Amino acid sequence: MAPPRNRRPGFSRRAQYSLFIGYVIAIAGALVGAVLLALSTLNPPAFSALRAGTAEITAPISWAAGSAWNGIASIPSWIGSFFGVHAENARLQKQVAVDKQQLLRARAIAYENVRLKKLLGVREPGEETIATARVVSSSATSTRRYALLYAGLIQGVHAGMPVRAPDGLVGRILEAGPDTARILLLIDPESIVPVRRTKDGAPGFATGRGDGLLDVKPIALGNAEYAPGDVLVTSGSGGIFPPNLPVATVVSRSRDGALAKPFAVPDALDYALVLRAFVNMPAPAPAETKP
């Protein structure tokens, strides 16, 4: 005859031992938890060593579990990045091919210009650095924009010399003392710089606004169609600024010109270079005295 289904554990000694061991483990776990809880509440410093030890043991497990979860969670972004990188790589390869062709054409034009200048015997003064010095301060809050350069007459710095940074034109020396000089910044309203557009050589003037931008006005009205992204460099006119110094890039059009942002930011300058004036004007001849 089959044993009844509702057989109690009392009929099996193994079942009785298993049930007893389970009760013992549960009671021991509850006692240990109560002791640890009381110890952490009554004496936290004594429990810190145990917490530190537990953290040392569980840290590798937590790190492994977190890494695995982050890896699984980042799979969709990896897939999206994979296709995005391939598209970006294709675009950049096309851009590199176009830039390479433009670079070759520019080198050919530059070589041709050098050859023609030699044939014509064109005489041009070179860009000569007079001094390299630290920009001590600049007037960032005033409408008049000046900067103080830690170099002066002793270092060969004189009024009228252009000042540039690695990024582009900064301004010109307004006045010089023995060891310091005052720079009229490019963005000052009293600053006017002859410029030209690099893509077609259209001449114009860049005037400071006092707010960090430049007003660009063309010399000829037919060249007034500036476009955002147009690059402006010095033209060399006027005899102060050497030609082809980076000045600004056009950010927007205006009614009769454009607004441009200078390449060099005076507030972020550490050092600047003082250049010799492009053309040193001869001293006036002394007046003849009549006998």
Q: Which domains does the chain have, with CATH numbers?
A: 130-275 (2.40.10.340)
Confidence of residue 126 (pLDDT cuts 50, 70, 90): low
Name which residue leads in pLDDT, 141 or 134. 134
Cα(210)–Cα(186) distance, integer angstroms: 9
Name which residue leads in pLDDT, 277 or 46. 277
User: Could you tell me the pTM of the whole model?
Assistant: 0.57
Name beta bridge partners: 261. Answer: 249
Cα(281)–Cα(290) distance, integer angstroms: 27
Torsion of CA 47, 53, 56, 59, to 10 degrees: -50
Residue 171 has pLDDT above 80, yes or no: yes
Residue 19 has pLDDT above 60, yes or no: yes
Q: State pLDDT tens for residues 23-77.
A: 888 888 888 878 777 766 766 666 566 656 666 666 677 667 767 777 777 777 7
Q: Quick one: pLDDT at residue 281?
A: 53
Return mean pLDDT, the chain.
79
* Nearest in space to 253 (alpha carbons), one of 218, 219, 280: 218
Q: State pLDDT tens for residues 85-96.
A: 777 888 888 888
SS3 of residue 215 by DSSP: strand
Cα(165)–Cα(187) distance, integer angstroms: 14
Residue 224 has pLDDT above 70, yes or no: no
Count Cα neighbours of 39 within 13 Å in the Cβ-side half-sphere: 13
Cα(44)–Cα(50) distance, integer angstroms: 10
- The arithmetic mean of pLDDT across residues 177-181, rounded, is 88
> What percent of the chain has a predicted confidence (pLDDT) above 90?
9
Q: State pLDDT tens for residues 246-255.
A: 999 999 888 7
Q: Quick one: pLDDT at residue 262?
A: 92
Cα(177)–Cα(172) distance, integer angstroms: 15
- The arithmetic mean of pLDDT across residues 168-178, rounded, is 89
Q: Is the dihedral of CA 170, 171, 177, 178 positive or negative?
A: positive
